Structure 1
Amino acid sequence: MRHLLSIIILVTLTGCGINTGEQNDIKNTNKIQQNIKIPVSNSMKIAMTTPKTLHPIYNLDPTVAQALYLFFDTLVRIEDDGSIKPNIAKYWSVKNEDNSIILTLNENINWHDGINLTAEDVAFSIKTIMNAKESIYKKSVENIANVAVLSPYTLQIWYRQPFSSMLQTLFFPVIPKHIYNIGYEDALDLIPVGSGPYKYKENIPLDAMYLEANEEYFKGAPLIETFEILLTPNQLSILSSFEQGLIDLVYADTMDWGKYTRDSSINIYEIPTQNYEFLGLNFALEKNNNNNIREALTYVMDRQQIIDIYYLGHGVLADTPINPTSYLFDQDITMKQQDEAKVKLLLSKEGYQYDEETELYTKNGVPLSFTLLVNKDNSNRMKIAEYIATMFKDVGISINIDAVDVKTYNNRIYDGNYDMFFGGWKFSHIYDVTYAFHSKEIDKGDNFIRYSNKDMDKLLEEAFSASPNDIKKAYIDLQEHFLQENPYISLYFKSAALIVKDKFAENIDPDPLNIYSNVYEWSIQ
């Protein structure tokens, strides 16, 4: 077996003056070249944080996970709209009668060592995720009951219950059984051997890793010959490396759009995300239980103006937790816009009148006001919260900002010690929002707004258990109910960005989960 991470760890320790005495114990049948740099003009430089492991299933670092997609292909692709496209699996059929999927694989895919990829490898990958204590792909298997190989290129996966997002669970890297079927500790240290567009070439510990094109890649030989991956301490170091010109590419799901949009030497590829921002209301309070008041709040803000000012337009206005870029989105929805007349009408139905003297809506002499809980450690949310407070005041509703540290913020939300809070979710591509809105999640889950509605519960259950063929209708029904109830005051979905030096041709097409999805087509101009 070929091992790499042991070398990285050893160099880290000896660099700190610790003599481990283990240098001769490294299992490595293929000697690694450690100190050779070969200048290649047709090359791309990227960066990742120094990995604890290069095992794609056991790795937990998101920057390492992206780099590993250069080595490892996924069973399917996730498109910009969240739908599924073939990859290693070329087609599939859903069997509703026994909650299963039958998958047929491409037969012309080889591992980097030349051995053919088969259904045995896919089944082994699924079982490896199932048995892992931790994995970023754990959600993919949490509803899987069993998997069986039917033929060299066909397998069947059974799920414990009807599950609308069956197909989305198929996004995970496939690993070769003949390489990775070893003990956990040994597997952590393996050099990557996958079926992806690039192969491991050499390593300079604590410095960089070098990859070469997989000329036998099943989608076609990559046009860029080599990749150099710099090893850095953290995400900030990756951004710094890009700004210093040390690397050619950087991915950011939270970024200063203004800094980069003015740079003519780069190209920015906007990527939709599942990062949803909202205002949450505490339903334990009487005023927050009033549907007309919640509806009025949806017309108070010019949310597009927030996106334009604070994200330079790089975000998507949303009225529900379904991203308008998603294939699940109800195309008949007309986004709500700021409308003071509707605010006045809805509040008047609840006895609120506009007081010219205080410039606030009042009822029985008491102004309509909210205290907005905000994490002060999130500087961007703080700025936006202040802007939101201004928009509320201009309409005639008072907002007081309660800025606290992140620990206090989280504790108060889960304890129900708030009026309104500025929050966000990073939804999974395996879609299910039961945990946020179902009444059973009030005490044991993340329904910290304490929202309870029998119709919502039923629609959430139906959306979860629908056939993959009926998932769209189930989520359209859910969105319609959400628009009637407004359990959250939806704001927007944020966009991420892949920022690339302009020496590379503009045929880069990143997927939301895999920024290197078409890397084999990338080229230098």
Structure 2
Amino acid sequence: MEGKKLLILLLVSALLLSFTGCNNEIENNTGQSTVNAIVEEERIYEPEYRGKLVLPLTTLNTLNPLLSENLFYYHFSKLIFEGLFDFDDNLDMISVLADTYVIEDNGKIINIKLKENVIWHDGEKFTAEDVAFTINTIKYASEDTIYKKMLNNSIGIYNPKNINRIINVQILDPYELNIIFDRSFSHGLETLTFPIIPKHKFVIDRENKKSYAQALAEENYIPIGTGPYKFEDYEKFKTIKLNSFPEYRNGKAYIDTVIGKVLENEKLILTAFETGQLHLAIPLDVDWGKYAQNSRIRIYEFISNNYEFLGLNFKSGIFAGENSKGIRKALAYGIDRQKIIQNIYLGHGTQAETPIYPDSWLIWEDANIYGYSPNKAREELEKIGWKDINGDGFYENENEEEVIIKLLTNPDNLLRTKTADMIIGDLNKIGIKVEKDYPEFSQDNLNEDIIEAQWEEINEKLMNKDFDMVLLGWHLSTIPDLSFAFHSSQIKSGTNFINYQDEKMDEILFEAFNAENRNNKLKAYKKLQSHIVKELPYVSLFFKNNAILIDKIVMGDIDPSFFNYYRNIEKWYIPKEFQGDIE
């Protein structure tokens, strides 16, 4: 279904974006457990080995991590495969297969020394040859493969080129290499999180196109990685079996066996979890608090990468005029975002002023300037000459003309239409007359054809600039480049569908993209956020929170994130008395 949603698919550089399933979403206490409401003191167990963990999967076409776009397999494959780097809680970089790194030549070269104690699951040593082979394989892959798209769209956004000329590898010795970019590039480390595959598995005599083709095979792919779990068996469309890898460099995982149970969709996954067939599931809606009453279940909530915002039409209409900024500020002050989060999302959201992940190391704390204030909203409107001339409770503009703003959104998303209704109510209260530009549908009557038709209509309005204001969302990438949304060069591609043009914004975005080191990147992103809150190309609302539901017999360092549900899984354990619960 989401394959039809242009507004999501436009952001092809967003890695997790392409792993969406067929749900109707476009989408505090990070990592904190919502403790069961049953009043009883839980027994404390010490970590123990053995046991079996059953995790969810949806129907998948391949086990190849360089090809699969299945969300559940993306997370599951992290038990098998690892990258050079990964993200921490703040989306800063941590070394995984890399040991140390140095950024050189004004950001064009990343010198990496690899860990020397890494073993592939088949017993071979991991070396720089494997990293080079993986990058060459991705470069050889077709343009529509997920990591090829990620590299092309993150590195080549300002000067599109074939990825083969953008990134290269120089092997210095078996455990040292240089990653070489053809330009200064601040997101180099973030792009090096793709899974590394073993060269020796695919190269017989010498590395060539045949080797790459074999590494990109979709059928009969046998995963061999360096992670805490080793692939054992795949019963097609039924189960994937993994066993803990005894020679894992960080120590053998506590849980011996992990079973990936394949089910048709997320609804069946939740049913299987509720009936005790799975140890873990993802809630389908925001009312997951109801599970807190179940003594069998723990809830771990985290901030997702699903960002909600109001987009404004800068091409024509009210937001194309010279007083547009005053109106935008009035919108930012006049919408009670916390009330929306509490009333519609049941508290499961995190207010945001910019499209930067709220816990990011790049966040600028001083960006939080638009708290809910109807009085400040009215002041902004009156500064630009708006008055309620006829006493009907709504402002007329500086030319004494009636002002009506139409709000567009996708009616198949019930949470979003409820949000739109509240936004309209808030803005009407401060004297901005806003009307619905979306039909009301009974959720019971929605089907795929109706939803597809609705999205085609919305896309047509957006591309034709036939809208005033639109409530939508992005699945934002872990690579925090906002050029896709705000750079003038992206108007033609359609990702800057609001038609926003600002030379200073273009300069700052390029500075953030082109930063030569991590310190300069941090400075550039502070400048970028300062400009965003000043200019308000979007009226930011919030990031949605998400959660995992987990059987309380699973214990340990459970710390899910939107980019890795199973983070620290080697430290999870099941006490001996519960080890035979799920068969």
Render the CA deviation track for 1:251-299: whole Å, top value 9, x for unaligned: 4586443443444422222222322110111112352131111111100
What is the Cα deviation at residue 357 of structure 1? 3.7
What is the Cα deviation at residue 394 of structure 1? 1.9
TM-score where L is the length of structure 2: 0.79
Q: Could you tell me whether the CA contact under 8 Å between 1:124 and 1:177 is conserved in 2?
A: yes
* Residue 170 in structure 1 maps to residue 192 in structure 2: yes
Alignment-derived partner of residue 329 in structure 1: 363
Alignment-derived partner of residue 265 in structure 1: 296
Alignment-derived partner of residue 42 in structure 1: 51
Alignment-derived partner of residue 25 in structure 2: none
Q: What amino acid does structure 2 have at the position aligned with 1:386?
A: D
Structure 1 residues 417, 187: closer, same or farther in 2, change over 3 A?
Answer: closer
Render the CA deviation track for 1:166-199: whole Å, top value 9, x for unaligned: 1111111111111144444756422211111111
Alignment partner of 2:280 out of 249, 268, 271: 249
Q: Could you tell me whether the CA contact under 8 Å between 1:280 and 1:421 is conserved in 2?
A: yes
5 Å matches for 1:430-509? 430-469=479-518, 470-509=520-559
Alignment partner of 2:66 out of 57, 71, 84: 57
Alignment partner of 1:421 out of 451, 465, 470: 470
Structure 1 residues 511, 217: closer, same or farther in 2, change over 3 A?
Answer: farther
5 Å matches for 1:6-405? 42-97=51-106, 99-133=108-142, 134-142=144-152, 143=155, 144-181=166-203, 182=211, 183-184=213-214, 186=217, 188-251=219-282, 255-289=286-320, 290-354=324-388, 357-363=391-397, 365-403=400-438, 405=454
Cα separation, 2, equivalents of 1:267 and 1:277: 27
Alignment-derived partner of residue 6 in structure 1: none
Cα separation, 2, equivalents of 1:247 and 1:439: 47
Q: What amino acid does structure 2 have at the position aligned with 1:292?
A: G
Render the CA deviation track for 1:306-361: whole Å, top value 9, x for unaligned: 11222222221111111221111112233421111111211111221246842212
TM-score where L is the length of structure 1: 0.88
Q: Secondary structure in 2 aligned to 1:67?
A: helix
What is the Cα deviation at residue 84 of structure 1? 0.3
> Which segment drifts farther, 394-403 or 232-241?
232-241
Cα separation, 2, equivalents of 1:326 and 1:108: 31
Aligned residues with identical type, % of pairs: 37
Query: How many residue pairs get matched?
Result: 486
What is the Cα deviation at residue 372 of structure 1? 0.5
What is the Cα deviation at residue 239 of structure 1? 2.5
Q: Could you tell me whether the CA contact under 8 Å between 2:403 and 2:432 is conserved in 1?
A: yes
Q: What amino acid does structure 2 have at the position aligned with 1:158?
A: I
What is the Cα deviation at residue 94 of structure 1? 0.4
Q: Could you tell me whether the CA contact under 8 Å between 2:50 and 2:255 is conserved in 1?
A: no
Give structure 1 stretches of 5+ with no counterpart: 1-39
Q: Secondary structure in 2 aligned to 1:336?
A: coil
Q: What amino acid does structure 2 have at the position aligned with 1:430?
A: I
Render the CA deviation track for 1:408-456: whole Å, top value 9, x for unaligned: 1122112211111001111211121112111222223411111111111
Structure 1 residues 98, 291: closer, same or farther in 2, change over 3 A?
Answer: closer
Superposition CA RMSD, Å: 2.0
Render the CA deviation track for 1:176-231: whole Å, top value 9, x for unaligned: 11114444475642221111111122333432222111111111110011111111
Render the CA deviation track for 1:93-139: whole Å, top value 9, x for unaligned: 00134701011111101011111111111111111122222333235
Structure 1 residues 511, 87: closer, same or farther in 2, change over 3 A?
Answer: farther
Cα separation, 1, equivalents of 2:78 and 2:368: 38
Cα separation, 1, equivalents of 2:107 and 2:555: 47
Structure 1 residues 377, 414: closer, same or farther in 2, change over 3 A?
Answer: same
What is the Cα deviation at residue 163 of structure 1? 1.0
